[in-house]
Structure 1
Amino acid sequence: MTGVPEPMSPDARRALEQELSTLRTERDTVAATLRGTDADSPGDLADQADELQRATEAARLDSRIAVIEARLAQAAVAAPPAPGVVGVGSTVMVRFADGSTTAVHLGEIADSTDSALVTADSPLGRALLGRVAGDPVSYRTPEGPKSAVVVSVGSPSGEA
């Protein structure tokens, strides 16, 4: 994200905590199958391949669990943005260079049910973080550089 701890919306926190719980359950299931093998028996190549696949899955789960735990810990120590300053959870009215105005919600990927979601680590999201009403922003997209102006900043409850 921005390199500094970012707060997290309550919905995003709940979604990540649910994902973490599911991943831990999956990890426990995979770990039980790893512990259930007899390391002294030679087994055949299929058994060894299956064991390797389970170990790889356990490592993948461990990696995702570590990412989620780190993000939750980071959010726990982050202070919310000052009133009127764009931060995670803010609803921002943005006027684009073509004159169109759109309300976007700056959030986490865990907020993906939000149709107005702009993730904080997207080009527009990074450009908006820390801005206030009236600030111009520039960001890069696959189509090239873009610009916009922050019209208003709402609270994390969504009031613009």
Structure 2
Amino acid sequence: MPPDTTQLSQAAYDRLKAEYDDLTTRGRIDIARKIETARELGDLSENGDYHAAKEEQGKMQGRILHLQAILENHEIVDTASGGTVAPGSIVTIRYEGDDDTERYLLGSIEERHDDLDVMSPGSPLGEALVGHVAGDVVSYETPTGATLNVELVAVE
């Protein structure tokens, strides 16, 4: 898999595709109307509505390009892992020596849902967790070179 490929569940792909389709049709029409309405107000150099609409247009175009890149370079992954950590899994982990647990969604930031933080499967911890099951203790090396042990408490 090329490094710029984004792993997505089918549900996330469908949601991103719908957002892309909406932004490239209705979104562009709406922003063009806002810009035209603001232009009719007169002097563009001091027209706050015009500048706000142009800024909104720029942000929307940035989101369109981001979505387009994801949709062109994606891989649909099966999130039904049967208890084994895979992209799309929700993992509960506990760091060695710590009593508290942490829950993460393992996947692309575009997969985010609920109030879970997202962990990339390509991160050092994400790579170490993939393929393991609840009860396993996994070691991984941090970017600073330290080795940490993590207990995989649960996989959903």
Establish whether TM, by shorter chain, passes 0.5. Answer: yes
- Where do 4+ consecutive residues of structure 1 move more than 6 Å? none
Q: Which has the higher contact order (CA 8 A, sep 6+)?
A: 1
Residue 46 (structure 2) pairs with residue 43 (structure 1):
no
User: Who is 1:127 aligned against?
Assistant: 124
| Contact 1:138/1:148 (<8 A) preserved | no
Paired positions, count:
143
| Contact 1:6/1:87 (<8 A) preserved | no
Matches within 5 A, 1:5-154: 5-24=5-24, 25-34=26-35, 43-45=42-44, 48-75=47-74, 78=75, 80=77, 87-92=86-91, 94-98=93-97, 100=99, 104-120=104-120, 126-131=123-128, 132-133=131-132, 135-139=138-142, 147-149=148-150, 151=152
| Contact 1:89/1:105 (<8 A) preserved | yes
Using the size of structure 2 for normalisation, the TM-score is: 0.60
Using the size of structure 1 for normalisation, the TM-score is: 0.59
The 3-state SS of whatever aligns with 1:147 is strand
- The whole-number CA distance in structure 1 between the counterparts of 2:71 and 2:151 is 28
Instruction: Work out the percentage of aligned pairs sharing the same amino acid.
Output: 22
- The whole-number CA distance in structure 1 between the counterparts of 2:41 and 2:98 is 70
Letter in 2 for 1:90: S
Letter in 1 for 2:123: R
* Structure 1: gaps (5+ residues): none
Letter in 1 for 2:140: V
| Contact 1:15/1:110 (<8 A) preserved | no
- The whole-number CA distance in structure 2 between the counterparts of 1:69 and 1:44 is 35
* Structure 2: gaps (5+ residues): none
Quickly say closer, same or farther: Cα 1:127–1:60, change in 2 above 3 A.
same
Letter in 2 for 1:65: I
- The whole-number CA distance in structure 2 between the counterparts of 1:79 and 1:18 is 16
Quickly say closer, same or farther: Cα 1:80–1:129, change in 2 above 3 A.
farther
- Give CA-to-partner distance per residue, 1:56-85, whole Å, 9 cap, x none: 21111100111112112221xx3749x898
- The whole-number CA distance in structure 2 between the counterparts of 1:99 and 1:37 is 56
RMSD: 4.2
